Amino acid sequence: MTDVQQGTLDSDDATGQGDDSGDNEARLRRLIDLGIALSAERDHNRLIERILLEAKDLYDADGGTLYLLKNGALNFEIMRNDTMNIAMGGATGVDIPFPPLALHDEDGNPNHKNVASHVALSREVVNIADAYEVDRFDFSGAKKFDESTGFRSQSFLTVPLTNYEGDVLGVLQLINAREGGKVVPFGRGRQALIEALASQAAVASDNQMLIEAQRELLESFIKLIASAIDAKSPYTGGHCQRVPVITEMLAEAACVAEDGPYKEFNLNEDELYELSIAAWLHDCGKVTTPEYVVDKSTKLETIYDRVETVRTRFEVAKRDAEIDYLKALQAADADPVELKAVFDARVVKLDEDWAFLEVANIGGEFMSDEHQARIHEIAAMTWQNNGKTENFLSENEVYNLCIARGTLTAEEREVINNHIVMTVEMLEQLPFPKHLKKVPEYAGGHHEKMDGTGYPKGLTADEMSVPARMMAIADIFEALTASDRPYKKAKTVSESLKIMGFMVKDAHIDPDLFRLFLQADIPRTYAEANLLPDQIDNWDPADYLN
């Protein structure tokens, strides 16, 4: 690293800050401690803010700026100035209004006129005793600031932040070193400490950016998997994306509860992130579920909806009825009125039976024993298939049409339910880091029930973690209010809460969490952002709390 010495600075002792050995030893100890602290800091804003503030404090500098290199330009990340009471960027939350400093002009020529961009390009330190006595760099912006504010920008120390590969991550710039109440040049002895600090800072920042990049990559893969699962079936699209929303709202409500069973409950930042990841992955096992089951929108659907085949039989039966009618009319003793009445009744019966089967095929929340008996009666009817007498419905068609709820048979539902087993198996094979070790448990527990009748492990309330119980409530509420299921009409919020109230009574979901779910008004918040207008009806949480 080359030191570019400009202006009036000749030696530390003559014109700059004096450095005695005792002070240097203390600063070295401080630098070591700071390096340890920087490596442990996980918040990016606090990290870069501490880098600037520590460097500023080492010189008792009046001001400082930290830039980070992004997209070929130096972006202002933090600005501080004691005299002007300026504190922007970093953890302050105050945006810095200045545009980035481009390292090259429009023609691709390097920008060496600005001292910060020069340092980023050259990777050398620039120590300037007095900006007003330097013509190599353009300080017109600083001078204009001085004119408008009465401030005096004098000494500058600009240091590159370079990682172990030699890549410049940013630039640290200090303004106006102070000693005895006066502005002095930046001393050369302390400059070495600043360079060491910049090196430590660059490594810490680089490590943090790498960790953040890995985290973003992980999240992208997770969301990609969730999107693929939702895209696999047009009837559950968005489910994997909506369940995390409800889960996170319920977790946050539990964390801020000031009374009740969850007043002592808390999840730190890592634990909330762990729960969010689990929620995104809670149905990842569905990638193994056959599409003919996932996409089964009617009872008779396989590769195609077999109801059309059944319809053909009714049309053939009606044709045969007409043929029989016309043949009967040819008899010498035929009674046209009676024959027509018989024919009409036969056609009406076929039309009514077909209409019934068409509705039954759609599926629903409940099919009565009476309707199932009618299925069997229709099945016993016969039709002529190329001269061969056959029943109207096969055993498999009867079995499917008699499904009491939804469109899946018991065997198909078992295939669907197996997705949670696959979810657990898939997630347990992944080498999750320590702060994500509970992802498989959280994701794999959202179909468990408080009374132990859930799956896949049949866990009871005492064996279930609170986050897993939260996901169960989120999964159920999303499924009940989903408007993309072909076999059922989207339920209103009040209808969904009523059903969940019964699930509480049946010891299927956590009563305390359901109460919190209502008290925090999560149904309304979620509904306003995700449901259709006609689903958002009026409801009183008190109606479901008892």
Encode pLDDT of 407-432 as tens digits.
Answer: 889 898 888 888 888 999 999 999 99
R_g over Cα of the chain: 37
> What's the CATH code of the domain at 477?
1.10.3210.10
Encode pLDDT of 142-184 as tens digits.
Answer: 999 899 999 999 999 999 988 877 888 889 999 999 988 899 9
Q: Are residues 59 and 154 in the same domain?
A: yes
Tokens of 320: 């045969």
Alpha carbon 390 to its chain centroid, in Å, reads: 54
> What's the CATH code of the domain at 101?
3.30.450.40
Written as one string, the DSSP assignment of 237-269 is: TTHHHHHHHHHHHHHHHHHH--SSTTTT----H
Residues sharing a CB contact under 8 Å with residue 461, sequence separation 6 or more, in sequence order:
450, 451, 469, 507, 510
Q: Are residues 238 and 349 in the same domain?
A: no
Q: How far apart are CA 359 and CA 278, in angstroms?
A: 38
* 72 vs 1 pLDDT, higher one: 72
Q: Is residue 39 part of a domain?
A: yes
pLDDT of 40 above 60: no
Tokens of 246: 């409800």
Domain boundaries, position 456: 233-292+420-545
Q: How far apart are CA 258 and CA 296, in angstroms?
A: 45
Q: Are residues 184 and 60 in the same domain?
A: yes
Q: Are residues 111 and 245 in the same domain?
A: no
376, amino acid identity: H
Q: How far apart are CA 249 and CA 238, in angstroms?
A: 17
Q: Are residues 193 and 238 in the same domain?
A: no
Q: Is residue 226 part of a domain?
A: no
Q: What is the pTM of this model?
A: 0.65
Tokens of 70: 């992004």
Q: Are residues 370 and 490 in the same domain?
A: no
Q: Is residue 220 part of a domain?
A: no
pLDDT of the residue at 405: 87
Q: How far apart are CA 464 and CA 180, in angstroms?
A: 64
Q: Are residues 269 and 163 in the same domain?
A: no
Q: Is residue 222 part of a domain?
A: no
Q: Are residues 238 and 97 in the same domain?
A: no
Average pLDDT of the residues of the chain: 86
Q: How many domains does the chain have?
A: 3
Q: Mark which of 151, 179, 211 sits at the end of a domain.
A: 211
Q: Is residue 297 part of a domain?
A: no
